[in-house]
């Protein structure tokens, strides 16, 4: 019986790209760039957004669309984007066999997350149900964790789901202060201590980057080096360097490191102290993938609302930033990304700025803003309809979602269990 349910699920979950036109009418459209159209018309054709207009002023030929969705009183949003995510690389945290986000070794730029992305993860459907439609799937660990790719949260297989392949390389800047864990599984943290290996680790990174740069500038290579090859995009501007770093002194070091290696696209991941060095970030055009909003301040004297308001501190300084959910239970918690944006809105951002932080800003930082991140004509039709305010738990109720114009299945195992037991108890 269970097997049958799964089969049905699989069949229903993936729908081929369509060519017929879809028109969404009368919704409040949250464009993603700060704009709102109260009574909107949104046209979709061949996977692209072909029309974004104000219904009160625009003239419209409804016959050009085969499907018209009346979304009166509802809201349309661009699909949210989860950067720096382990979605599809893990299934159950405590079961090692299900974890595919960490490889052995310190400097592994050639490790690619794309390969291990499991489109059949049971977690993914629960995430897209809340409006998160794209994720930058990212390896973890070491000094250079590897290469991320941006994936659609719907697809038959990883090739099919790939949205932008090998978009960036992720490095973990060494900690000036490191902490010893009190147990073997690195769960229970002890006090911070000075990291005696800091210089060695920083030098290892510096050497790797200067060697890789030189290698990629050499025309005839004696022997092929897979690691150096993997870093080519960093030096020609086609890939972004994501530096995972939080402490202010480490941020300063890391930004200078990237500059020295003439890397043009730099983004910090975490950046808990980034508000202290906004001038440096601005001068070097560095964006920030902000550490989890639903987190506690690091220091007891930090402002009580520190992680909540970090996005607004960066917004005020004109730093490009987006939100992410790295940390405990991060994959399954990705579905709370909209509510983190909501919290950021409670602590200083406007609601539309908060939406931008999980849509267009994320697209810009990931280098996909030309094709997605907002509801604008010419972009991929990655969007969803919610009956209410998608950033609020009370309003986030996604009725329809589209990836490249295809309506995606919004069912998931949790809903199936819910229905099953409602039925058991004779509830409606």
Partner 1 sequence: MKKLCIYLFSLIISSCLNAQETFPVNGTANKNHTVYAFSNARIIVDPETTIENGTLIIKDGLITAVGSKIMIPKGAVMIDLKGKSIYPGLIDAYTNYGMPELKKATAWGPQMESNIKGAYGWNAAIKTETDAFRIFNDDSKAAEELRKMGFGTVLSFQKDGIARGTAAVVSLSNGRENQLVLKDKAAAMYSFDKGTSVQDYPSSLMGAIALLRQTYLDADWYKKDKSKKEYNISLEAFNNLQSLPQIFETTDKLNIMRADKIGDEFKVNYIIKGSGNEYQRLDEIKATGCKLIIPLNFPIPYDVEDAYDAYNISLTELKHWEMAPANALALEKNQIPFAITTADLKDKKDFWKNLRKAIGFGLSEKQALKALTTIPAELLNISDKVGSLKAGMLANFIITSGNLFDEKNIIYENWIQGTAYKITDFNAIDVRGSYDFSYGPDRKLLQLKIEGEPEKLKSTLFVDTAKIPVNTVVSGNSITLTFNPKEVQGTVRLSGNIDKDPLVMKGKGQLPDGTWITWSAHYISPFTENAKKDTAKKQSFTYGEVFYPFCAYGQKADDRSGFDKVVNDFKNRYNALLIKHVTVWTNEKEGILKNQDVYITDGKIVRIADDINASTLAFAKVIDGTGKHLTAGIIDEHSHIALISVNEGTQASSAEVRMGDVINSDDISIYRSLAGGVTSAQLLHGSANPIGGQSAMIKLRWGKSPEQMKFEGADGFIKFALGENVKQSNWGDINTVRFPQSRMGVEQVYYDYFTRAKEYDAKQKSIAGSKSASVFRRDLELEAIAEILNKKRFITCHSYVQSEVNMLMHVSDSMNFPVNTFTHILEGYKVADKMRAHNIGASTFSDWWAYKVEVKDAIPYNAALLTNMGVLTAINSDDAEMQRRLNQEAAKTIKYGGLSEEEALKTVTLNPAKLLHIDNKVGSIKVGKEADVVLWSDNPLSVYAKAEKTIIDGQIYYDIEQDLKLRQEIQTERARIIQKMLEEKKNGGPTQKPVMKKQQLFDCDSMQEDYLSE
Instruction: Give the residues lining the site for partner 1 (CB under 8 A).
Output: 91-95, 122-123, 177, 179, 182-185, 187-194, 248-249, 276, 294-301, 303-305, 328-329, 331-332, 335-336, 339, 342-343, 345-347, 391-394, 396-397, 414-415, 417-418, 421-422, 425, 427
Separation CA 332–CA 348 (nearest Å)? 27
Separation CA 263–CA 257 (nearest Å)? 9
Output the smallest distance, CB 345 to partner 1, in A. 6
Q: Considering the complex, state which of residue 207 and residue 422 has its C-beta at the smaller distance from partner 1.
A: 422
Residue pair 98/116 in contact (Cβ under 8 Å)? The answer is no
Output the smallest distance, CB 219 to partner 1, in A. 44
Q: With the CA atoms of 294, 391, 47 and 22 taken in that order, what torsion angle do they form, in degrees rounded to the nearest 10?
A: 160
Q: With the CA atoms of 91, 92, 97 and 100 taken in that order, what torsion angle do they form, in degrees rounded to the nearest 10?
A: 50
Output the smallest distance, CB 313 to partner 1, in A. 14
SS3 of the chain: helix, strand, coil, percent, to 5: 30, 25, 40
Output the smallest distance, CB 188 to partner 1, in A. 6
Output the smallest distance, CB 91 to partner 1, in A. 7
Q: Considering the complex, state which of residue 110 and residue 201 has its C-beta at the smaller distance from partner 1.
A: 201
- Residue 188, classified by CB atoms within 10 Å of its CB into exposed (0-12), middle (13-18) or buried (19+), is exposed
Separation CA 170–CA 168 (nearest Å)? 7
Structural tokens at position 70 = 């009346």
CA atoms within 13 A on the CB side of 367: 22
Structural tokens at position 392 = 């609020």
DSSP 115-140: GG--TT-SSHHHHHTTTEEEEEE--B
Output the smallest distance, CB 340 to partner 1, in A. 9
Q: Considering the complex, state which of residue 211 and residue 392 has its C-beta at the smaller distance from partner 1.
A: 392
> How many separate helices (H) and strands (E) can be counted in the chain?
14, 18
Output the smallest distance, CB 51 to partner 1, in A. 31
Separation CA 123–CA 206 (nearest Å)? 37
Q: Considering the complex, state which of residue 227 and residue 294 has its C-beta at the smaller distance from partner 1.
A: 294
Residues linked to residue 152 through DSSP beta bridges, in sequence order: 134
Residue pair 92/98 in contact (Cβ under 8 Å)? The answer is yes
Q: Considering the complex, state which of residue 300 and residue 318 has its C-beta at the smaller distance from partner 1.
A: 300
Output the smallest distance, CB 393 to partner 1, in A. 4
Q: What is the DSSP letter of 427?
A: -
Q: Considering the complex, state which of residue 168 and residue 271 has its C-beta at the smaller distance from partner 1.
A: 271
Q: Considering the complex, state which of residue 73 and residue 378 has its C-beta at the smaller distance from partner 1.
A: 73
Structural tokens at position 8 = 């049905």
Output the smallest distance, CB 243 to partner 1, in A. 18
Q: Considering the complex, state which of residue 46 and residue 298 has its C-beta at the smaller distance from partner 1.
A: 298
Residues linked to residue 162 through DSSP beta bridges, in sequence order: 151
DSSP 182-213: SSTTS-SEEEEEE-TTHHHHHHHHHHHHHHHH
Output the smallest distance, CB 64 to partner 1, in A. 35
Q: Considering the complex, state which of residue 94 and residue 226 has its C-beta at the smaller distance from partner 1.
A: 94
Residue pair 71/385 in contact (Cβ under 8 Å)? The answer is yes
Number of Cβ within a 10 Å radius of residue 203: 12
Q: Considering the complex, state which of residue 170 and residue 351 has its C-beta at the smaller distance from partner 1.
A: 351
């Amino acid at each position: 019986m269970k097997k049958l349910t799964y089969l049905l699920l699989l069949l229903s979950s993936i729908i081929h790209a369509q060519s017929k036109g879809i028109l969404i009418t009368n919704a409040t459209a949250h464009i993603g760039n700060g704009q709102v159209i109260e009574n909107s018309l949104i046209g979709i054709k061949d996977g692209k957004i072909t029309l974004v207009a104000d219904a009160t002023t625009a003239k419209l030929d409804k016959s050009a669309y085969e499907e018209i969705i009346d979304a009166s009183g509802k809201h349309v949003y661009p699909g949210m984007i989860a950067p720096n995510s382990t979605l599809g690389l893990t299934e159950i945290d405590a079961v090692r066999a299900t974890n595919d986000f960490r490889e052995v070794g310190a400097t592994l730029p050639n490790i690619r997350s794309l390969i291990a992305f499991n489109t059949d993860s049971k977690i993914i459907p629960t995430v897209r149900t809340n409006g998160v439609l794209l994720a930058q799937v990212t390896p973890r660990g070491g000094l250079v964790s590897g290469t991320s790719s941006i994936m659609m949260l719907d697809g038959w297989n990883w090739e099919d789901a790939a949205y932008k392949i090998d978009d960036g390389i992720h490095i973990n800047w060494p900690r000036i202060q490191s902490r010893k864990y009190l147990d073997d599984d690195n769960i229970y943290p002890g006090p911070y201590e000075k990291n005696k290996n800091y210089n060695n680790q920083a030098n290892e990174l510096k050497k790797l980057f200067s060697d890789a740069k030189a290698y990629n500038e050499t025309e005839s290579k004696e022997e092929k080096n897979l690691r150096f090859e993997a870093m080519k995009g960093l030096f020609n501007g086609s890939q972004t360097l994501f530096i995972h770093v939080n402490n202010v002194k480490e941020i300063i070091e890391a930004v200078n490191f990237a500059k020295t290696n003439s890397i043009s696209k730099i983004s910090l991941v975490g950046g808990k102290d980034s508000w202290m060095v906004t001038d440096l970030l601005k001068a070097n055009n560095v964006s920030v993938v902000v550490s989890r909003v639903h987190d506690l301040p690091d220091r007891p004297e930090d402002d009580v609302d520190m992680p909540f308001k970090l996005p607004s501190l960066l917004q005020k300084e004109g730093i490009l930033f987006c939100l992410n959910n790295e940390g405990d239970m991060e994959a399954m918690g990705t579905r709370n990304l909209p509510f983190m944006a909501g919290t950021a809105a409670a602590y200083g951002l406007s609601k539309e700025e908060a939406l931008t932080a999980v849509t267009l800003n994320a697209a810009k930082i990931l280098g996909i803003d030309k094709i997605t991140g907002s509801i604008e004509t010419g972009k991929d039709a990655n969007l969803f309809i919610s009956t209410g305010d998608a950033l609020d738990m009370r309003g986030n109720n996604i009725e329809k979602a589209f990836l490249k114009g295809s309506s995606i299945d919004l069912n998931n195992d949790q809903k199936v269990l819910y229905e099953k037991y409602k039925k058991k108890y004779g509830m409606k």
